[in-house]
């Protein structure tokens, strides 16, 4: 009898949205999927009825909104709480690792709270880096890796996987994107737009003129100004006073429904308002005459009623056919929301 083909991964979503990520996976691969929870509502293990290559291809081509990060499970081994020596021996002897000499390799280690503090992720990474260097002659890196070795530790099992960084959906460990807070930073909302730029493959410095709807206190506006754009910020609330000194900023302290612009004034529209999605969509649609054809929109959609798929569907219906969705993602810096990347037809 021919062995059944399948592949196993660990998936990570923002806390509270693990079940939505699982639903997207089930829709993509059918009822043959199997799931088990590692961290409630956040991190789960799943097995798919296709091989690792096919599973990765589908997940990349039709990337789920709520699945932030995946790591393949190429080997799993039980242990009793474990020790560093046991972990090192597992990595030294496992047959699933095959790395060419000199390959730039990033080791990413995560663990559940039940694993003892003596096994810190940083300490485990350093030990595994040494083993891989001894065994394969690899070069330990954090960025620009050719390979990622992923290790996930629970009190009962060790999960080990090897992948290309781009195959994990995010090249950050667990998809936890970290930016350094800057002195004088207007708000942490800036991190959200920084992450969106990276996840959506955008380069804001390539744009000319942007409108920021619901801009106050100015986190998104500040990033766009740093990228060299001319920015028109619209909000009835006050903008950070330091931003007002920038000669490339036009601040309209008004409701967005009360402003008018010449047609095709902007090639970028951004909006991060704490409004209901349909109210926000209608407001954005009323201003789309000012966005050039082919222009980009980056919009945050608040998930107010825990019906995310319906919320996104309705919001897209409200802005189509003018705006066409390119990608929707719940970013690491999102909370009860999604970020959408759209292009004007």
Q: Which residues are catalytic?
A: 302
Q: Which two tokens stand for residue 46?
A: 């799943």
Structure tokens at 114: 């039940």
The answer to whether 44 and 11 have CB atoms below 8 angstroms apart is yes
Q: Which residues pair with 35 in a beta bridge?
A: 46
For residues 20 and 307, give the distance between their C-alpha atoms in angstroms, rounded to a whole number. 10
Are the CB atoms for 281 and 269 separated by under 8 Å?
no
Q: How many CB atoms lie within 10 A of CB 66?
A: 25
Are the C-beta atoms of residues 42 and 18 closer than 8 Å to each other? yes
- What spatial distance separates the first Cα and last Cα of the chain, rounded to whole Å? 53
> What angle (nearest 5°) sits at the alpha carbon of residue 69, between those of residues 42 and 63?
110
Tokens describing residue 58: 């589908």
CA 23 to each of CA 6, 12, 31, 67, 290: distance values in angstroms, whole numbers, following the listed order? 18, 13, 10, 10, 37
Give the H/E segment covering residue 195: helix 189-199
Q: With contact defined as beta carbons under 8 Å apart, do 157 and 38 qualify?
A: no
- Say whether 324 sits in a helix, a strand or coil: strand
Count how many residues are written for the chain.
345
């Amino acid at each position: 009898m021919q062995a059944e083909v399948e592949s196993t991964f660990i998936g990570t979503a923002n806390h509270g949205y693990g079940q939505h990520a699982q639903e997207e996976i089930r829709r993509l691969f059918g009822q043959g999927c199997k799931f088990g929870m590692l961290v409630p509502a956040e991190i789960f293990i799943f097995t798919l009825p296709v091989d690792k290559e096919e599973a990765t291809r589908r997940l990349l081509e039709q990337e789920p909104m709520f699945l932030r990060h995946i790591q393949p499970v190429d080997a799993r081994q039980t242990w009793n709480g474990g020790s560093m020596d046991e972990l090192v021996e597992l990595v030294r002897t496992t047959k699933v690792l095959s790395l060419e000499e000199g390959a730039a390799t990033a080791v990413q280690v995560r663990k559940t709270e039940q694993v003892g503090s003596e096994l810190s992720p940083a300490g485990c990474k350093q030990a595994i880096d040494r083993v891989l260097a001894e065994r394969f002659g690899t070069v330990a890196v954090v960025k620009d890796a050719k390979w990622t070795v992923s290790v996930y530790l629970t009190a009962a099992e060790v999960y080990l996987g090897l992948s290309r960084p781009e195959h994990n959906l995010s090249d950050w460990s667990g998809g936890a994107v970290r930016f350094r807070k800057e002195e004088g930073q207007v708000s942490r909302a800036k991190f959200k737009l920084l992450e969106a730029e990276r996840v959506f493959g955008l380069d804001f410095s390539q744009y000319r003129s942007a409108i920021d709807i619901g801009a106050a206190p100015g986190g998104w506006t500040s990033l766009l100004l740093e990228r060299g754009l001319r920015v028109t910020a619209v909000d009835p609330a006050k903008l950070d006073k330091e931003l007002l000194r920038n000669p490339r900023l036009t601040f309209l302290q008004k409701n967005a429904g009360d402003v008018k612009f010449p047609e095709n004034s902007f090639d970028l529209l951004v909006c991060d308002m704490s409004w209901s999605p349909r109210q926000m969509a209608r407001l954005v649609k009323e201003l789309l005459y000012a966005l050039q054809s082919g222009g980009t929109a980056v919009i945050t959609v608040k998930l107010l009623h825990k019906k995310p798929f319906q919320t996104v569907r309705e919001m897209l219906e409200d802005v189509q056919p003018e705006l066409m969705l390119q990608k929707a993602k719940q970013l690491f810096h999102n909370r009860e929301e999604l970020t959408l990347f759209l292009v004007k037809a």
